[in-house]
Structure 1
Amino acid sequence: MKKWSIKKKIIIINTFFFAILLGINLYILKTASSQILSDQTSREIIDATLEIANEIKIEDDQVYLEESEDDEVFRYYHDGVVFLVYESSSVAFGPVPTNFNPNIPIEINTIQTQETGGITWLVYDVDLENGYILRGIYDINPMADSVRNVIIFATIFSPIIILLSALGGYLIIKRSFKPIKDIYSTASIIKNEEDYSKRIPTHFAKDEVYELADMVNQMLDQVEQSINREKQFSSNVSHELRTPLTVMKAHAEYLLIKEKDKSVKSDIVTIMSQISLMENIVNQLLELTRTRHLSRSELDSIELYELVKLTSESFTQKLEDNHISLEIIPPNFDTSVVCNQTMMIRAFSNLINNAIKYNRPNGSIKIMFNKTANTIITTIADTGLGIEKEKIAKIFDPFYRASESRTQDDASLGLGLALVKEIIQIHDGVIQVQSVENIGTSFFISLPINNQE
């Protein structure tokens, strides 16, 4: 039950308690109806028997109603009660009902119960004048059957009522939890796509959930503003640094030509190397900035397999120098996607370059293509050093390097994979990674299929 959602827990608990309450109600109904049936039938037989006892007279072996015209002969039946007149414990007048035993003992003013032939009888005896006894007999089965049918009906329909209650509870809870689902969906989009422009809809009632959603939206406003300020700062700094770096590099090159002292020239070369490194950082930061402002007019329909194949050809010499084999498995389906060709070449160049750099001698790289209903998935797998499990989540962060080495080349800047992720995401794609230390790393790039006519 720990893995169940809150919605499911509430529905199950609500249905469980509703079923218990319904069961208790059925038990109370059964108990109360039995008591009510007993009280009602007892009152009816007593009232009817006492009423007839006050109205009949016995003359000439006949039972008459005293207040009726012409001394009407009594028919031995009144208000559902059958009457017998006893004399000396034997039936003197009246028809004995079928399945009724007339020989049960006489008990004056006492309710007795007799069950014969599947019929339950209530019996009530009243003392008359002249040694006669009036016995009222009441068949309670019809009323008991009606009560029993009601209970059976309620019992049969209880599961249906419980199911309807569960369904109603589900619909109500689903509607009530929709704002929370919206919060979760928005948070998932922000987490997976890093799209901080998303906001939680607040069109629902202004209750506690509304206040929570509004507070989260305010927090997202602040986060988005902070991120935008950071991006703007990086862009501004990159632009501001570019000009002085160009001037510094030009002066260093001029000094290198004019200087005769070898030790000084060595220092100038070191300075130029550092300037080149700074230029590379600035250029990659500017490229990150440009990537974030890609327009639809810069997109074209590109055959992804051909693009990857073309990109890999520029690494032929580097592959030979490092004794690494590269295999691209041709797909048997169309790999057309809509993208900016220059950016996509840069993304795959970075990935192939990393696969070479962090591979082992005589290692291999394999590039494969798969297709789902909506995406083309490109897999770049190497047999390299792998990435530590706790570092995998950070490798796409700007300036983060999984390797602690401080080499001064492009790959060591920590911007390559950050740029790759920006490029893939700006094309509505997703990049994922799987890695096992000392076995290798696989990158999975998913891009939407080109559905343009």
Structure 2
Amino acid sequence: MSGLSIKQRVTLFYASVMLLFILLVMTVLYVTLDIQLTHVSHQVLERSVKDAFDDIDMPGDWLEIPNDFDFFINDVTLLIYGQEGTKVIGHAPQDFPEGIALRSDTHQRFTSERESWQVYDLYTEYPNETGLWVRGVYSRSNSKQTLRNVLLIMLFALPVLVAIALVAGYLVTKRAFAPVSQIQKTAEQIIKNKDLSRRIGLRGNKRDEIYSLATTYDQLLDRIETAFEQEKQFTSDVSHELRTPVSVVISQAEYALSQNDPEIMRKSLGSVLRQSEHMSLLIAQLLDLSRTGHALQSMKYERFNLAELCDMVVDEHQENANNKNIQFIKKLDHRIEINADQTQIMRALINLISNSISYGKENGFIMVDLHSTENRIILSITDDGVGIAPEHLEHIFNRFYQADEARTKGRLSNTGLGLTMVKQIIEAHGGEITVQSTLAVGSTFTISLPKSSEQES
């Protein structure tokens, strides 16, 4: 059995079950037929014996029997016995055993060397106080022959039925496992051609377990393909981001080495230092982004007051805001609590408020608004800074994406990774983040989170 395929094992199991079922049905039919034949023989015996009493009479010491009286009727042999059990008239069938006791209104079964017999006796007492026995003897040879014929038919039919069961089981199993074969072939094609875009695309009953398996497999392929493409894009983006500063460092170092003017060398080294700091920051934020991704896979949910967290983050950034004379405006509903990973939510808030300060204008403002609807918690951070051009809005959360130079000029901290991390954190909590912005007017980042979470602390 271990060397057989699943389809073969299922087919054999199906055929075995069908074989047992067929044997059970045949056994029931055989036993039922035997019982029915026995019942019919009882009825024939009783009717024949009772009809005999209707034809004979015993007015005195003699027995009156009609001339046309038939001692063999309906395959029943009739024997007449006196009151003491002595046979008066009639011939017992050949091989019928002698000396069988008379029992009134009772069916008896006897077996000789060659035959099986059914016997029925009936006693009647006449007005002259003389009694008479009539015995009916029925040979079961016809019944036994019928049973033998039925058994032979069953034995001949059994292999045919088993073969039909095997074929039917194979066809049903083959049809049932066809989707599995499709899944296997698709997987083999993906491995052979290294094509993650292929899908099973199974059509069928949506309640079928194999259909659900195929759908889950397609969803898994979607995630694998997305992750693979993101990894390729990430590698390409990192290479692109590092290529420019590395090229600048090399060119400036070579230029400085070719010059004897200390001022030129100082400027070149300053450029090398700035690009090195930029690369260091980029690597640090890449590491931070990677750690965030791992942390989001095992978040620690706890219930906390979101307004108090906003207060704490604002207080931590107050000094930086004061350097640009930026005023914080807080509209916080202190009744709002949320079940979430407090550390990750804090990181998202720190990033958004830091960006608002970095891109905010002198003597401007930053408004932090926290309120709730029936099912959602809404947190928005608004500034009156440089804003974002419309063509950049749909890409602002993409990894390494940076808006126009006017927005990022002179800002070493901008690597295009911060908002990507914020989006990851919010979406990991079942929320979403959107942005509305107008150039030279300001930007509003809005976070929407569910009030309740499937992850309870």
Name the TM-score class by shorter chain.
0.3 to 0.5
With structure 2 as the length reference, what TM-score do the two structures score?
Answer: 0.46
With structure 1 as the length reference, what TM-score do the two structures score?
Answer: 0.46
